[in-house]
Chains A and B, each alone.
Chain A
Amino acid sequence: DAGITQSPRHKVTETGTPVTLRCHQTENHRYMYWYRQDPGHGLRLIHYSYGVKDTDKGEVSDGYSVSRSKTEDFLLTLESATSSQTSVYFCATQRETYNEQFFGPGTRLTVL
């Protein structure tokens, strides 16, 4: 395991509030990813990072921003949460020369 933790693991919030999810890894992996998982959609990539301060958009990036100021931390921010952002969010990491992505335990976010 890559030693990936996500916090919080569960969160309930109200529409319009900002929310930040944290992903922390202890393995010094270069690449980090945020996905959301919804029934019938599998996992969809929100944003990813290929190094400190290097990030890019994924398939479903609208309404989300990310930051990576340290190798070990990758933050996902919902600037103004909406009910459509109710989902399970997974963080993943990958070593530069390997193919496998390691996943964190997930964060269940409910926006009321």
Chain B
Amino acid sequence: AQKITQTQPGMFVQEKEAVTLDCTYDTSDPSYGLFWYKQPSSGEMIFLIYQGSYDQQNATEGRYSLNFQKARKSANLVISASQLGDSAMYFCAMREGAGANSKLTFGKGITLSVRP
């Protein structure tokens, strides 16, 4: 089974509107972390937001928030007030456990296009 699932096809959003990018995960480890990265057309990977499995509140970073629903094993990224510069590929990732052998597993990504 895939550990990280991003099944949405290319997403479109109107500038200044909010958009939700879906991510579901699968793990039996009680300690894990969830990440979102942005990859614009220039190719670099940009860290956006992190949520720990024991965090009581949803993570927020500026216009980004993570809608963490532990029981449903979902970690959706919400981008508020979309900007043209938000057009990019977005990757959800998960780390299970901790320490030296803890590694990130990435989803396949979602393409977001922001329309003016």
- Identify the A interface with B (CB < 8 A): 31, 33, 35, 40-45, 48, 50-51, 54, 56, 58-59, 88, 90, 92, 99-103, 105-106
Contacts and interface: CB of A to CB of B under 8 A. Distances in A.
B73 interface: no
B95 A99 contact: yes
A99 to B, nearest CB: 5
Contact of A103 (B44, B50, B105): B44
A100 B33 CA distance: 10
Interface residues of B, number: 22
Interface in B71-116: 91, 93, 95, 100-101, 103-109
A106 B41 CA distance: 13
24 contacts: A31-B100, A33-B103, A42-B4, A42-B106, A42-B108, A42-B109, A43-B93, A44-B106, A45-B103, A45-B104, A45-B105, A50-B100, A50-B101, A54-B100, A56-B101, A88-B43, A90-B45, A99-B95, A100-B35, A100-B50, A101-B35, A103-B45, A105-B44, A106-B44
B12 interface: no
Nearest to A44: B106
Interface string B47-75: 10010100000000000000000000000
A51 B103 CA distance: 14
Nearest to B103: A45
A31 B104 CA distance: 12
Contact of B47 (A50, A58, A100): A100
Contacts of A58: 103
Given A42-B108, A43-B106, A106 B50 contact: no
